[in-house]
Structure 1
Amino acid sequence: MSYVARGYGGDRRRHGNYDRREDRRPVETEGQRIQKSIFKLGEAAEFLPSSELPVLAKTLRLSLSDNIQSISEGFRTGVTEEPYKIPYFSALFTLLLQPEPDEDVDNTIQELVQSVFNELCKSFQTSLDKLAWRDLRLTIHFFAHLALSKTVSASSMLDLLQSFLIVLDEPGVSYERSQAAALCVGEGLIRAGPILYQYNPTAAATIISTINSSFESAKSQRSLTRPVVRLHDMDVSGVDVFIGALLSTLQTLDESSFASLPPCLPQPHSLFPESNISLDIPAFIVPPEEIELGRSADEGTRRKELMPAARIRLFDDEISPNPSSPSGFIIRSTLADTINIFEVNRKECARIVLELPRWFTWGTFKEKGRAGPEAAVEESAAIMGWALENTILEVTLAEFALLPSPPQTLVYYFALITDLCKLSPQTVGPAVGKSFRKLYSLLGEGLDVEIARRFAEWFASHMSNFGFNWVWKEWIPDLALPAFHPKRCFIRRVIELETRLAYHDRIVKTLPEAFLASEAKCIHETPPGPDFDYDDPQHHFHEPAQSLLNLIRGRSQIDEVIQLAETLRSTIGDTVTLAPETSPDSVVRSITMQILLHVGSRSFSHFLNAIERYLPLLRSLGSTPDDKIDFLNAAGKFWQRNGQMVAIVFDKLMQYQIVDPSDIIAWCFHSSDRREASSEGLIGLQEWDLIKAALDKAIGRVSIAQQRVNSLRKEEEDAKAKVKAGKAELSVDTMDVDSTEANRARDLESNHKTISEALASALKAYSILTREQKTALARVLEGFVTALSVNATPSISLVIAADGWDHRVDWTQVQWECWETWGWYRHFCRYYAAQLKSYAVTLESGPLAKVLTAGDRAHSGMLVSEIWTVALGRGVNM
């Protein structure tokens, strides 16, 4: 306990006799105080812009001459990290140029403010060099608001937007780059539109037309990122994407000749006189996309291909703003930016987003008992009074549900929503419940399988933070649906995840009796533990398994264990009659794998120790793909009641190179006996998780190998240059050469040789891993093609037909499994599009050759081909 807390430190401090090491916090400098004052703008309990902005502006003017850099940094930080305050930052900057009549200031004030502006432009150039698109976009917002107050000239603002518009006309520009540039231009035009339209009425129409025409070719990819899927209906009209919402907003404003700003945007600049000084934004050129020289086309990086991102809607326009309306676009964009910026501090993010109404026009959100800010104009009829918490939830979940992958890790969104509930349980809690019910209602109505997977993880995680309390009785009628209906799959998945996060017995107590019945198949009667087949004395192979188990449990020498395994391989067929398709080798592999898992089932460390100790045993028993399938079958059966452990064991077997990623993929597609599926090759969530883990392992290995090759190439070039320089220093006359220099030259040559050999070895390893990655991708593609087109039955083909979807209430279990398999095929193509492009020629001449020439559009093979073509960005009109 602290002595100060007990009163002993008080006298010592009063007499100056205390250890100054107790207070070593650095003293805040004047520059830091200035930056903080800008960054903390408007965070008092009551914010009155008409009085507070002039006071802060006066304070900044008095310190301008000595703190230009600090003031500039304060504005830059505020603009790029607090986007909701940008209108107020721009008003503050405008006031810097307008000293009050009775204010005693230096005549050079305008030059000093110009210097601050120049520093901001330098920061903008730095962001441009790095292609930091979000910082660029938010700074353009700042410039646009300055243009509204005539602090920045309309001509230079228009030139800035047009410099980004040029990006859209670049040959071969990527979708990611073109979307980022279009958002910079479009969002700048939304805010500066009124002043730019006055300056050049035709410029706005030109900008809108250019953006629209640039994204026509990307429309087909919307079909792969729609949150709600109709396999028979590939029409992409009406699909809400970022660029689509931007264009709708711009067209709405253009129809009114940009007469005013969107009504949700505050206009603090209107509280003060217009600026009589106009600054010019310097000319900027957007640098080209960085292309890494020497990068192989086969590089298997983890990069995801950006596609037109479709957003999910959960609530009506009366509850949350329509993203295609001017106010809705700005509100949702500001919320999304804030959520992504504050990813480093979710608690602060939760606090800020709940206080967002103070940064929008009064009336934008429904608020109880709060007076509007002085900067607010009269409430407009266009302001709906939306529900803040529902809007926050919808925007957060729209980010969380983005396909192919969300901007942040899923756990961030889970934790953010939890913190929102803790800050305001009475208002956020009901919004969360409504979101649960809306997403659940979309299950079986076409909700994308990947979004359904994320939803299950969020639901289980959220329940774990609030006592696993849910109204499960609402879902009892859904237990009558087929076993693999999306709602049944969701319920099973959630209960499985909850069990992982708590205990089996605890979760059982939270569920109604209907969910515990064996016919409901929602939860196992016993906790998820191992199933050791050979522990039963009545089992045919109990005795040989016990003899091997005793050796392994006793940590016998590896040679002794291998010798016993070899003996069992030669004698096991003589003692027991085996099925025709079963060999003694297969039986021994199954026994060995289950014994190692049994010994290691006590804990994760026990499992790793057992596997590592007897790696030579496993390698001696199996080397062919069929042998490895035996290992996987044994592991899958041992942990059949615990899917998490199956994934962990498979991952470690890949890590120790007992099995290859392609072996696990083959097991997932062809080992249909492990589920109740009646059609081989159809996969569900558990199989997809294993397939994805195998692909990520193969891709990750190639990425690491590529990095090593690049590093060794650089070292090899440096070593070669040193050898060349060393030779140049040597005298032509070898008699005059100093022995030290000669030895140094030999050392350099030796080092160069060593590095060259290491590089040759790394290139060989890279080549092998690249082939392994290509094989894994081809194996997945072949599995999907075979299941969905080559072996498709009329019953399965009905899943992709319009009349089949209309009668989905009558679908059988196999048909729902087929629908889910189609969903994972779509996700495979869009999620790994970057890697698939690298091997497109090989894959199209191999697994896809059977379906690429299909002529009947209604045939499932044609749909397989179309999804593939769209994922690779070839613009098929669907």
Structure 2
Amino acid sequence: MSRRRHSDQNDGGQPHKRRRTSEPLVIEDRLESLIFRVGEKSTSSLESNLEGLAGVLEADLPNYKSKILRLLCTVARLLPEKMTVYTTLVGLLNARNYNFGGEFVEAMIRHLKETIKANAYNDAVYLVRFLSDLVNCHVIAAPSMVSLFESFVNVTQEDDVPQVRCDWYVFTVLSSLPWVGKELYEKKDVEVDSFLSQIESYLKQRQKIHVSMLQVWSAEKPHPQEEYLDCLWAQIQKLKKDRWQEKHIVRPYLAFDSILCEALQHNLPPFTPPPHTEDSVYPVPRVIFRMFDYTDAPEGPVMPGSHSVERFIIEDHLHCILNSHWRERKSCAAQLLSFLGKNKIPLNYHIVEVVFGELFQLPVPPHMDVMYTTLLIELCKLQPGSLPQVLAQASEMMYTRLDTMNTTCIDRFINWFSHHLSNFQFRWNWEDWADCLTHDLDKPKPKFVREVLEKCMRLSYHQRILDIVPAAFSVLYPANPSCVFKYGDESSSSLPGYAIAINLTNVIKNKAVNEDIFNILKDVPNPNQDDDDDEGISFNPLKIEVFVQSLLNLASKSFSHSFSAIAKFHEVFKTLSESDEGKLHILSVMYDVWKNHPQMITVLVDKMIRTQIVDCAAVANWIFSPALSHDFTRLYIWETLHSTIRKMNKHVQKIQRELEETKQRLAKQHKRRDDDDDSGREDGPLEEQIERLQEKVESAQSEQKNLFLVIFQRFIMILTEHLVRCETGGINVITPWYKNCVERLQQIFLQHHQIIQQYMVTLENLLFTAELDHHILTVFQQFCALQA
């Protein structure tokens, strides 16, 4: 590459000109490929690859310095699992070209500030860790790194800032110390001790009421689910006690020590952490997921203890691989299984624990749930001998601990397990779980098995479940997903509305239109009033009953038949649902027809919201209505509610986006007018559009706020009734129903926390007041603590 020549002569030949403009692009692409792929499988050793690449980059610095700087800053952020490879490369470049080393350090500090200002805190952690590892490569002077850490720790002394801000700066320092602690302590032990004691003081006084809301299991045994900073602090304390020696970080720079120690070092430019602003959004606290210890992997290498820094390093590396490769499950699985140092640890146990740790992470997993499912399937294919066994062991452990497992995590366990079984012919030793048949059906174990079988049926068919699950489990079998038509046989002929339902059925079969339906329905007597409104606008439960029952029964063959029927008679639905009672009754009748088919209920509710037959608040009220009390703790009910909330949130975001885009168009129009000095042109249409959209945004936000108020109000009512009933009857408050209900309330807060944050003041003033029972108020206080 160094022999490349760039001629300044212009001979006027077009081919030469074209070659000259495209050659730099080819070189840039090659540089990118070389940098991104260094350290991957190669016939040469990593050391010779690094040496070769350093030579190539040095030769290209005169012409491509800014590109090389940008690429190295990018890999520092995007490929943290290869961090020590890249710090070694930067060290070698610095040894060859001191000025470049200085420019790289300055670029990284600029990059760090921008990343923090952009709220990209996970990326910023890796940038700081990269800078700290450059101390080991003799690029950055140790005292200068200590000064950066001190500026981070000093954030804990700031006034009126949220705890999560201080948490992030403390975490960033502590999580860099496994890489650089030894080097810093040898050179600046007094200063390191000083900022560590400052961190200790901070950790002792920080509040942690959020912890129980984020724990996967509430029980302390066998593996306590520790708060992430407490766990990391214990690991760093142990590392310090071990004289900062660790065994799992691959350090390629040690091979180049004789070259690197000759290099001149740089001081970091002074760094002031960007101040806290209203737009700052810090990572929420986490809990460290623990499922295994050394006793669970009796054969092979020993699993490091939960407070050893090796456990942190291994898990952090696996999280980095997941984060870098999650879009491509095959390469992600292969990368996880080719973990460096895998022979020193029980790798499969670590992988399974880390994958489930992410899947169960609260408030939400880092990636979509299905990614973890497909990744585990891929891992089983690559390691068919051992990984499925570890996964079975993990499933068994989680099943035995269902009593203390968080309800949201149980949902994710159900979805993962059923999906996983569907990829392996539903093979499972169900007899091992026969103990669930001796429990009350509302207890966690039988509920879990029932929900798993329900989900498995969605992924296959009813008879298949009956064939693969022993008959002893029949009490937990999913119902045959058939439609229940109230007026289906002559024994129901005495029911009010029977004759009209039969008439409606015949008319619909004969290609009726909306007008025909209205003509039949106008004769339906209204049980609620003496003389019914001919137009059918007032709420008449019997009208709704006969129409919805008849139509859904006729369209019961498939989802698409039901959708077509709703579309064809949309006008009738809209008329019957003009009142709030009408909306609620349509949902209740639909539930009566399809109570044996939860998936149909979920999709029909979705369709009715989309077609504006019912609104989101009506769905929330229906879910908390007595009609649904029998299914209140079923998983599909909560999937329906969360889907409803997401639809409302998307609706608000869509209108807000339209408003922003229109404002930008108007601003561009103003700029053009100013540039053309054309003061006579009107912007009327755009300004009117903005006004209309602003009204729509306000109306949608009001609807969104109302939806959350309805949901929280209904939770408070239903929980208060339970608490009063228990108090007056002298019964223990903590029942399976109560645990489920409180954790569903937590789930609403957690899954939609970014939206709910906007309405905190209203919620505090109207609903979660000091007079509220502490059982319910605690949930709100835990939620507030997440961003406190």
* TM-score, length basis structure 1: 0.77
1:338 CA drift (Å): 1.7
Residue 687, structure 1, aligned to residue 637, structure 2: yes
Q: Which residue of the partner structure matches residue 538 of structure 1?
A: 491
1:14 maps to none
Displacement, 1:436?
0.7
* Distance in 1 between residues matched to 2:623 and 2:746, nearest whole Å: 17
Quote the offset at 1:213 in angstroms: 4.6
Distance of 2:724 and 2:528 partners within structure 1: 39
Q: Which amino acid in structure 1 is aligned with residue 323 of structure 2?
A: N
The count of corresponding residues between Structure 1 and Structure 2 is 746
Residues 572-611 of structure 1 aligned to structure 2 (within 5 Å): 585-611=540-566
The residue number in structure 1 matching 2:208 is: 219
CA 309–123 in structure 1, closer or farther in 2 if over 3 Å, else same? closer
CA distance in 1, matches of 2:692, 2:539: 43
Supply the distance in 2 between the matched residues of 1:39 and 1:715 (Cα, whole angstroms).
39
Deviations 1:386-411 (A, max 9, x none): 31011001011111111121111101
Structure 1 residues 345, 796: closer, same or farther in 2, change over 3 A? farther
User: How do residues 174-213 of structure 1 correspond to structure 2 at under 5 angstroms?
Assistant: 174=162, 177-213=165-201
Shift of 1:591: 1.8
Is the Cα–Cα contact under 8 Å of residues 659 and 690 in structure 2 kept in the other structure? no
Q: How does 1:279-678 map to 2 (within 5 A)?
A: 279-288=266-275, 291=278, 307-317=284-294, 319=297, 320-356=303-339, 358=340, 360=341, 365=342, 367=343, 385-444=344-403, 446-515=404-473, 517=474, 520-524=475-479, 526=480, 528-539=481-492, 540=495, 541-569=497-525, 585-672=540-627, 675=630
Deviates more, 1:33-42 or 1:557-566: 33-42
Looking at both structures, which has the greater relative contact order when contacts are Cα pairs under 8 Å and sequence separation is at least 6? 1
- In terms of mean alpha carbon deviation, does 759-768 or 189-198 score higher? 759-768
Q: 1:249 aligns with which of 210, 231, 235?
A: 235
**1:144 and 2:127 correspond:** no
| 8 Å CA contact retained: 2:101, 2:139 | no
Are the equivalent residues in 1 in contact too, given 2:231–2:288 (CA < 8 A)?
Answer: no
Q: Distance in 1 between matches of 2:345 and 2:255?
A: 26
CA–CA distance in 2 between the matches of 1:697 and 1:81?
32
**RMSD of the TM alignment (CA)?**
3.5
TM-superposition CA deviations, 1:122-171 (whole Å, max 9, x none): 54454344342233222222222220232211122223333433444444
Q: 3-state SS of the aligned residue for 2:524? A: helix
Distance 1:725 1:41 in 2: 50
Q: Look up the equivalent residue of 1:93 and give its one-letter code.
A: V
Greater Cα offset, 35-44 or 243-252: 35-44
Aligned to 1:8: none
User: For residue 231 of structure 2, what is the amino acid of its counterpart?
Assistant: A
Offset at residue 631 of structure 1 (A): 1.0
Structure 1 residues 681-722: Cα deviation after superposition (integer angstroms, max 9, x where no partner)? x64433322332333333333333444444455566777888
Secondary structure at 2:389's aligned position in 1? helix
> Once structures 1 and 2 are overlaid, which stretch shifts more, 780-789 or 655-664?
780-789
Q: Report the equivalent of 2:685.
A: 751
Provide the secondary structure at the position in 1 that maps to 2:785: coil
1:240 alignment counterpart: 226
Tell me how far apart the structure 1 counterparts of residues 779 and 575 of structure 2 sit (CA, whole Å): 43
Contact 2:620–2:711 (CA<8 Å) still a contact in 1?
no
Change (3 A) 1:61 1:292: closer
- The amino acid that maps onto 1:826 is Q
The Cα offsets for residues 693-752 of structure 1, whole Å up to 9 and x where unpaired, read as: 3333333333334444444555667778889999x966xxxxxxxxxx4xx3xx33x336
Shift of 1:560: 2.3
Asked whether 1:43 is paired with 2:29, we answer no
In terms of mean alpha carbon deviation, does 418-427 or 660-669 score higher?
Answer: 660-669
The residue identity in structure 2 corresponding to 1:566 is K
Instruction: Give the corresponding residue for 2:533.
Output: none
Alignment CA distance shift 1:44-1:697 (3 Å): closer
Report the AA paired with residue 762 of structure 1. Answer: K
1:779 aligns to 2:735 (yes or no): no
Aligned ranges for residues 821-836 of structure 1 at < 5 Å? 821-836=741-756
Query: 8 Å contact 1:799–1:819 — kept in the other structure?
Result: no
Q: Contact 1:405 / 1:831 at 8 angstroms: preserved in 2?
A: yes
* 1:424 to partner: Cα distance: 1.4
Instruction: Quote the offset at 1:634 in angstroms.
Output: 0.9
Mapped to 2, the partners of 1:655 and 1:464 lie a distance apart of 31
Aligned 8 A contact 1:323 1:332 in 2: no
- The alignment partner of 1:79 has SS state of helix
Q: CA deviation at 1:828?
A: 2.9
Quote the Cα distance in structure 1 between the aligned partners of 2:94 and 2:781: 56
Which SS does the other structure have where 2:428 is aligned? coil
**Measured at CA, do residues 288 and 145 of structure 1 come closer, stay the same or move farther in structure 2, by a change above 3 Å?**
same
Distance 1:596 1:119, change over 3 A: same
Provide, for residues 252-300 of structure 1, a one-character-per-residue CA deviation record: whole Å limited to 9, x for no partner.
Answer: 23345xx33422112332223242211233333433456469xxxxxxx
Equivalent of 2:218 in 212, 229, 232: 229
Distance 2:528 2:130 in 1: 79
- Residue 142 of structure 2 contacts residue 183 of structure 2 at CA under 8 Å; is this kept in 1? yes
* Pair 1:44–1:286, CA change in 2 (3 A): same
Q: Secondary structure at the match of 1:264?
A: coil
Distance change >3 Å, CA 714–CA 95, structure 1 → 2? closer
Contact residue 140 and residue 267 of structure 2 kept, 8 A: yes
Is the Cα contact below 8 Å between 1:194 and 1:261 reproduced in 2? yes
**Equivalence for 1:701:** 651
SS of the residue aligned with 1:543?
A: helix
Distance, in Å, in 2 between the alignment partners of 1:193 and 1:386 is 23
The DSSP-based 3-state class of the residue aligned with 2:636 is: helix
Aligned to 1:85: 82
Q: 1:76 to 1:767 in 2, by over 3 A?
A: closer
Confirm or deny: 8 A CA contact 1:88 1:268 kept in the other structure: yes
> Does the residue aligned with 1:281 lie in a helix, a strand or coil?
coil
CA distance in structure 1 between the partners assigned to 2:366 and 2:138 by the alignment: 36
Q: Give the superposition deviation at 1:208.
A: 3.1
Instruction: Return the match for 2:699 from 765, 768, 771.
Output: 765
Give the corresponding residue for 1:807: none
- Which amino acid in 1 is paired with 2:502? Q
Please give the secondary structure, in 2, of the residue aligned with 1:219.
coil
The reply to whether residue 278 of structure 1 matches residue 292 of structure 2 is no
Asked if 1:33 corresponds to 2:30, the answer is: yes
- Matched letter for residue 487 of structure 1: K
Alpha-carbon contact 1:709-1:759 (below 8 Å) kept: yes
Comparing 280-289 with 639-648, greater Cα deviation is found at 280-289
Shift of 1:74: 4.4
Query: 2:608–2:614: 8 Å Cα contact kept in structure 1?
Result: yes
Give the alignment of 1:96-107 within 5 angstroms: 96-98=93-95
- 416-425 vs 783-792, greater mean Cα deviation: 783-792
